[in-house]
Chain A
């Protein structure tokens, strides 16, 4: 099945730094979702995007739906230890099923 290209695969940062990750697709999507997964748990929805160009914030998190509808990014400002985990993007093309990126593993050094 189709997969998204999510990058970077992993990040090692210092506490307090800002983080940026992105996903790109060869297809045009009408929905972009960003999830966070802690070890041994299910993904939790962070932000949902439904319109090209849409910029949405959730606390220190900000995500944008790319204007071409083929990409999205997630930024985390002033990272804290509880931000550690794996972040997944997911996109939907028309009425099709969700497609997931392979995840970005975030590690924070205190």
Chain B
């Protein structure tokens, strides 16, 4: 099936630990995105990438890092510098790049909690 796969579904982090969330897509989409969702709130953009080996900060990039070494993969690392990491993390992808207005399609999310 074509789609966006996020793993794991649930993730627990200890204080001071870095964790990496996986996002893979087989839709041949150029652009990929990471969002954070807190209870009762909308989605806030962490990082996005419009093409392989390139990415830009979103609205809340502090404490996070990403890489885009392959078109189909866009992993997100939540570093120990992120003091409030408990949230639902959503990965998305879309066709095209630049000014393309193609809609974004989402994975099923990873819920990160602090132990």
- The answer to whether residues A50 and B109 also contact, given A3-B42, A42-B90 and a CB cut-off of 8 A, is no
Q: Range of interface residues on chain B?
A: 20 to 34
Contact A88 B42 (CB under 8 A): yes
Contact segment of A13-21, A66-74, A94-102 = A94-102
Interface of B is mostly: loop
- Distance, CA A101 to CA B59, complexed state (A): 15
Indicate whether B106 reaches chain A with its CB closer than 8 angstroms: yes
**CB closest chain-A residue, reference B43:** A100
Contact B106 A42 (CB under 8 A): yes
Indicate whether B2 reaches chain A with its CB closer than 8 angstroms: no
Contact A44 B42 (CB under 8 A): no
- The answer to whether residues A41 and B98 also contact, given A88-B42, A97-B48, A102-B42 and a CB cut-off of 8 A, is no
For residue A6, which residues in chain B have a CB less than 8 angstroms away from its CB?
Answer: 42
Q: Which of B42, B98, B101, B105 contacts A50 (CB 8 A)?
A: B101
What 0/1 pattern do residues 18 to 58 of B give for CB contact below 8 A with A? 00000000000000000000001111110010000000001
Q: Which 7 A-B pairs have the closest CB atoms?
A: A42-B106, A1-B59, A95-B99, A100-B42, A102-B42, A31-B101, A100-B43
15 contacts between A and B (CB under 8 A): A4-B42, A33-B103, A40-B111, A42-B6, A42-B90, A42-B107, A45-B103, A90-B104, A95-B98, A97-B58, A100-B42, A100-B43, A102-B40, A102-B41, A103-B42
